[in-house]
Chains A and B, each alone.
Chain A
Amino acid sequence: MTTTGSPVSAPPTEQGGAAPRHRTSPPSREEKRRERRSRWYQRDVKWSPYAFVAPFFLFFGAFSLFPLLYTGWASLHKVSLTAPTDMEWAGLHNFSRLFEDEFFWNALRNTFSIGIISTVPQLLMALGLAHLLNYKLRGATFYRVAMLAPYATSVAAATLVFVMLFGYDYGMINWALGAAGIDPIDWHNDTLNSHLAISAIVIWRWTGYNTLIYLAAMQAVPKDLYESASLDGASRWQQFVHVTIPSLRPTILFTVVVSTIGATQLFGEPLLFNPGGGANGGPDHQYQTLGLYLYEQGWTNLHLGRASAIAWMMFLLLVLIGLLNWLVTRWMQKSELGRKTARRRS
């Protein structure tokens, strides 16, 4: 075996390329055939990687990269849904208008609020559940599959059920609260309560998925870390905090990033949480998210240019959050390093 890092093409070219350098006699037919094959071979080795990635990049370029850039271009124009090819240059007007728009800030606030209420408890619960699933269990597969069932349920189906469960007069949740002696809660018209209800749908759908990701990472934690921790007298909880969580840090970061992206794009849940239809996110826009606002501007109010500007604001927001994430990780690594050196010194 050659080293794994060596070019794959090296052995065959030497093997197939048999033509001697200083020829004394004209090449025989056999030699010619070999030479032809070897040339073909080299070409195959050189060009087939491009052929293999080409179909992907063809679709990818047409339907992901190009639209990405075009949206930026469209955000600088006045474009209507009724005549999408009629673009009128508007400079940064769409953006400046957005900043003056109270509904934009409202949508931004709602996105943040729902994002935090749905992401933080979800990931904490997933972490705890993964810890439980990591025990030796009878019927382990059953629990795992059952927890994944919400993930296989569509946004539409899930939200429609939850709208009923969260109904004011006849919803099961208010009924259960009533049985416990608590007054019914208005899950739809009140801002905070509607955010809680929408977050509940998100949490329900995604906790199981994140649990499995954490579980996989937990099973990869080396056993002796726990052994030495227990020898040091660490309780089970201390082991969870000081061994499990630090070992899971990259995975936790991964889920935080993925959930943040998901939360920024939240769309289906708030759209369908409004049984009357429409993308306003409730009569007072109380749960209109950025995704919903984009849809309303583009497909209800027909302003595609403004919708593009919202899309780019969402993108910038994600980049900002990504940057923040990166800084926090670096800071965490640094402080960890600092702690370790401090411990070594003492």
Chain B
Amino acid sequence: MSALKTDHAPSPRTVPDRARPGHRGDRRPGRGRASSAGGQLHAGRITYAVLIVVTVIALFPLFWTAVAASRNNTRLSENPPPFWFGGNLFKNLEIAWTDANMGLALFNTAIVAGSIAIGTVLFGTIAGFAFAKLRFRFRNLLLLLTIGTMMVPPQLSVVPLFMAIAELEWTNQLQAVILPTFVSAFGVFFMRQYLLEALPTELIEAARVDGASSLRILWHVVFPAARPAMAVLGMLTFVMAWNDFFWPIIALTQQNPTVQVALTGLGRGYIPDQSVIMAGALLGTLPLLLILTLFGKQIVGGIMQGAVKG
């Protein structure tokens, strides 16, 4: 699998070769020049203009988070609102860091999201391989069950999960957040779809003929073949787990929070300092934005890959 693949895929050719305003009516069927143009259509000025506007809208709230985090509460309750950075960024970051326990929160979130990503990828790959390439009784039934529960709202299991962790005295401990999402039906389904195509059945048969055990095949054939999809699933899961909100806020408290739980705590004071809240939001978002800028191409490719096959 290549994340790049989609970038230059030949795409539908349409009649006019440029999006030109004012030339709408000037279109006749099968005009020679246009139909022999070939390849992908170039974007016109309007397309760029729209995309740039959308990009600005997509990025502006993030930019403004940083702007607000660099001001103070008084400046934020004045008109017009600030559009550029002030000088309070580091002070606010420091307050958020200590008040909301941000250091601990980031550390906790990294552990939680990392463990969930590892669990989802590892067990998703192994089970996905079995569902894609091995024969066993009840295979289809079990697969159907797995896919079916993807539709079930997480709220449905919150009450008993809460009772269970209360019983186990896991409240406020990280395993209470990690274990319930340690494996995911989506992960199994995602890996199955990928391995169905990416892993030739002959390769497994050849390994069997050579006398390889199932574990050896898993290690030497399946894992290498699945690596690209494992990376994508890992990143997607990491992002999801990092941003997860509903269950952590129930299972944890401000004493041992994840980033999202800590953020809600920041917003709930009597006279909340908005600039400090924004500094906290910035701290909680930056790691993921960093990952997105580093692996953006792969993540985008992964989402698109999953969409075509899923």
Contacts and interface: CB of A to CB of B under 8 A. Distances in A.
B245 A155 contact: yes
A212 to B, nearest CB: 5
A27 interface: no
A155 B151 contact: no
Contacts of B307: 212-213, 216-217, 251, 254
Contacts of A9: 135, 208
Contacts of B277: 160
A219 B281 CA distance: 36
Interface string B279-310: 00110110011011100110110011101101
B149 interface: yes
Interface residues on B, range: 35 or more
A265 B155 contact: yes
A283 interface: no
B202 interface: yes
A267 B12 CA distance: 40
Interface in B257-278: 259-260, 263-264, 267-268, 272, 274, 277-278
A318 B282 CA distance: 35
A299 to B, nearest CB: 7
Contacts of A144: 296, 300
A57 B226 CA distance: 21
A165 interface: yes
B169 interface: no
Contact of A135 (B6, B19, B142, B163): B19
B204 A8 contact: yes
Contacts of B79: 169-170, 175
A160 B278 contact: yes
A49 B51 contact: no
A297 B33 CA distance: 67
A38 B14 CA distance: 61
B16 interface: yes
B290 to A, nearest CB: 10
B2 interface: no
Given A175-B81, A212-B307, A261-B153, A135 B209 contact: no
Contacts of B21: none
B12 A48 contact: no
A129 B43 CA distance: 12
Contacts of B300: 141, 144-145, 148, 212
A239 interface: yes
Interface stretch (A99-107, A307-315, A328-336): A307-315
A31 B201 CA distance: 30
B30 A231 contact: yes
Contacts of A151: 239
A67 B167 contact: no
B152 A265 contact: no
Contacts of A114: none
Interface string A62-103: 011111101100100001010011000000000000000000
A125 to B, nearest CB: 8
Contacts of A311: 153, 155-156, 158-159
B162 A225 contact: no
A206 B102 CA distance: 26
Interface of A: 1-2, 4, 7-9, 11-12, 15-16, 37, 41, 44-46, 48-53, 55-57, 59-60, 63-68, 70-71, 74, 79, 81, 84-85, 129, 132-137, 140-158, 160-162, 164-165, 169-172, 175, 204, 208-209, 212-213, 215-221, 223, 225-227, 230-236, 239, 243-244, 251, 254, 261, 264-265, 267-268, 271-272, 275, 277, 291, 294-295, 298-299, 304, 307-308, 310-312, 314-315, 318, 322
14 contacts: A8-B133, A11-B209, A12-B205, A50-B136, A63-B182, A137-B48, A144-B300, A145-B296, A149-B292, A218-B12, A265-B155, A275-B267, A304-B163, A308-B159
Given A135-B40, A162-B61, 16 more contacts: A8-B205, A12-B205, A52-B129, A53-B130, A63-B182, A85-B167, A135-B42, A140-B7, A147-B58, A152-B239, A152-B243, A216-B307, A219-B6, A219-B11, A236-B16, A311-B153
The 9 closest A-B pairs by CB, nearest first: A67-B157, A233-B29, A145-B296, A216-B304, A48-B214, A135-B43, A226-B12, A70-B160, A52-B130
